[in-house]
Amino acid sequence: MSHRLSLSRAAQLVGVHRSTLQKMVSEGRLATDEGMVAAEELRRAFPLADLEGSGAIEWVNRIREESFGRRVRERLLPSQEVLAQRLFAQGLELAEMRRTVQRYHALVESLAAALRADLEGHPAQPRLAALLADGLGRALAGEASDAVAAIDDALRVMTPRVEVRPSGHEFYVEGRDSVLQAGLKAGLRLSYGCENGTCGLCRARVVDGEAQRIRNHDYPLSEAERAQGHILMCAYSAVTDLKIETLEASGPQDIPRQEIVTTVRAVTPLGPDTRLLHLQTPRASRLRFLAGQSADLGAAVAAGDVHGHYPIASCPCDDRNLHFHVGRDDADAFATDVFSGALRAGERVTLVGPAGDFVLRSGDGRPLVFLACDLGFAPVKSLLEYALSADASSSYTVAWLATRPDGHYLANQCRAWAAALDGFAWIPLAHAEPAAGAEELVAALRECPDLVRSDVYVAGPEPFARAAEFALLSAGVPAGSIAIHAS
């Protein structure tokens, strides 16, 4: 029987996004059976030459060739204990398969002997004997070793797969990541709090597979919980592929309000009138938020307390390092202190949040279109980074209107995405008027055949947001597919 792989493992192996394979399945270009792809079918769709050039094979080869150089040990490999557990688990599986094959072999041989005895002298005996000998000969000769199966086995040791129930989401655990870290990197909205084994909010039940504790935790799991397979995702890693039951946030209402004293890591110019404010939370007190949400920031400086409310411009997959795009504004005391240098590296900033419902909806892989005006690019960047890490779609369009002298202050980042990703379109536009610019931007998007079946996210000043919404509705985009963040 052909080796079978889950869609996400197949995507990992051939070095494409899972959404790309899903698109091929829906277009009939890749056959699946109960959500699994046969290795032969994968080879047909991605000939061996492509497989050999894929990131996964390169990655496996790199580990083999660099054989345990320091960098590989630290960044790609799990701890020795976890690696030993994974090899042991795979060894057990291999031993069980050997036993099964031996039992089948013995059964076939005894059947053949019984047939020979029963058909002694029968005219059909020579033909049946030849058929059996031929079949056995071919089975024992075996097939050439299967590169797909071999690499899949290597990937199972290096990056076990975790399936979350009841959502069906899945992700891979790489290097020394805990189950929680790996899930957050993959863009899952898992429940958690402290990330250091104290609060118990990351409890999950292992339904299938084996997990290994990789750090101590203070939160006491009861005997009954342990017996039922409960773990703390922040303190355990995966030994084998896992199926776990745990909570995931369905929307902003499931994210608690938090108050965290952060430290300014850096204030970096993005343009003469735009600053990147980089805040870092304490290691044991990270911000749980959804991409696209905002936060209140407060600081006590020499001139008194200052406050501001800003969208978070970074991805929730890094919940310690929070980025904000701050524009020069004399009416905003917090922004003034950012520009004057009063708020510099090492200062404390109290963050309260998250807030807002400008978050990614579950769009079943539908195309994603983002319209931003000026600093409205901040929440769009957070949504985009999250969508990319969660592999939420195979089609992304970013249309950014600049009305300020700072223009498209992260144009390099957009160009890099467009160059690196298939299905990524980047449309910059400069215009003095936000409302007229919004209409021009939507007119450019009308060329895109997917616009009416896309999920569209609009962020920017009120006149821009309203004009864009009106133009999108006129273009036939359903109101339910448009999300607005007006500042």
Q: How far is the CB of 284 from ligand FES (least distance, A)?
A: 9
Q: How far is the CB of 158 from ligand FES (least distance, A)?
A: 24
Nearest residue (CB) to ligand FES, 125 versus 321: 321
| Residues within window 234-293 making contact with ligand FES, judged by CB under 6 A | 234
Q: Which of 332, 323, 310 shows the shortest CA–CA distance to 266?
A: 323
CA distance 51 to 221: 44
DSSP assignment string, 317-369:
TSSSEEEEEEE--TT-HHHHHHHHTSS-TT-EEEEEEEE--------TT--EE
Q: Is residue 193 close enough to count as binding ligand FES by CB under 6 A?
A: yes
| Lateral strand order in the sheet of 482-486 | 424-430, 396-402, 368-373, 455-460, 482-486
Q: Is residue 177 close enough to count as binding ligand FES by CB under 6 A?
A: no
Nearest residue (CB) to ligand FES, 158 versus 232: 232
Nearest residue (CB) to ligand FES, 195 versus 406: 195
Nearest residue (CB) to ligand FES, 196 versus 389: 196
| Residue 470 tokens, joined | 């009106």
Beta carbons of 233 and 204 less than 8 angstroms apart: yes
Cβ neighbors of 205 (< 8 A, separation 6 or more) are 228, 229, 230, 231, 244, 245, 246
Total residues binding ligand FES (CB under 6 A): 13
Nearest residue (CB) to ligand FES, 42 versus 179: 179
Helix (H) or strand (E) holding 4: strand 4-6
Q: How far is the CB of 319 from ligand FES (least distance, A)?
A: 11
Q: How far is the CB of 213 from ligand FES (least distance, A)?
A: 12
Nearest residue (CB) to ligand FES, 216 versus 253: 216
User: Of the candidates 190, 194, 255, 390, which one interacts with ligand FES according to CB under 6 A?
Assistant: 194
Segment near ligand FES (CB under 6 A), from 8-16, 70-78, 89-97, 189-197?
A: 189-197
Q: How far is the CB of 385 from ligand FES (least distance, A)?
A: 22
Q: How far is the CB of 203 from ligand FES (least distance, A)?
A: 8
Q: How far is the CB of 179 from ligand FES (least distance, A)?
A: 10
Torsions phi, psi of 473, nearest 5?
-60, -40
Nearest residue (CB) to ligand FES, 192 versus 424: 192
CA distance 162 to 243: 6
Exposed/middle/buried for residue 346 (C-beta within 10 Å: 0-12, 13-18, 19+): exposed
Between 196 and 235, how does the x/- string for binding to ligand FES read (CB under 6 A)? -xxxxxx----------------x------------x-x-
Beta carbons of 309 and 327 less than 8 angstroms apart: no
Segment near ligand FES (CB under 6 A), from 39-47, 194-202, 264-272, 342-350?
A: 194-202
Nearest residue (CB) to ligand FES, 198 versus 321: 198
Report which DSSP code applies to 134: H
Segment near ligand FES (CB under 6 A), from 53-61, 151-159, 188-196, 260-268?
A: 188-196
Q: Is residue 355 close enough to count as binding ligand FES by CB under 6 A?
A: no
Give the up-direction half-sphere exposure of residue 263: CA atoms within 13 A in the CB hemisphere: 7
Read off the amino acid at residue 436: A
Q: Which of 301, 297, 333, 299 shows the shortest CA–CA distance to 312?
A: 297
Nearest residue (CB) to ligand FES, 24 versus 232: 232
- Contact footprint for ligand FES (CB under 6 A): 192-195, 197-202, 219, 232, 234
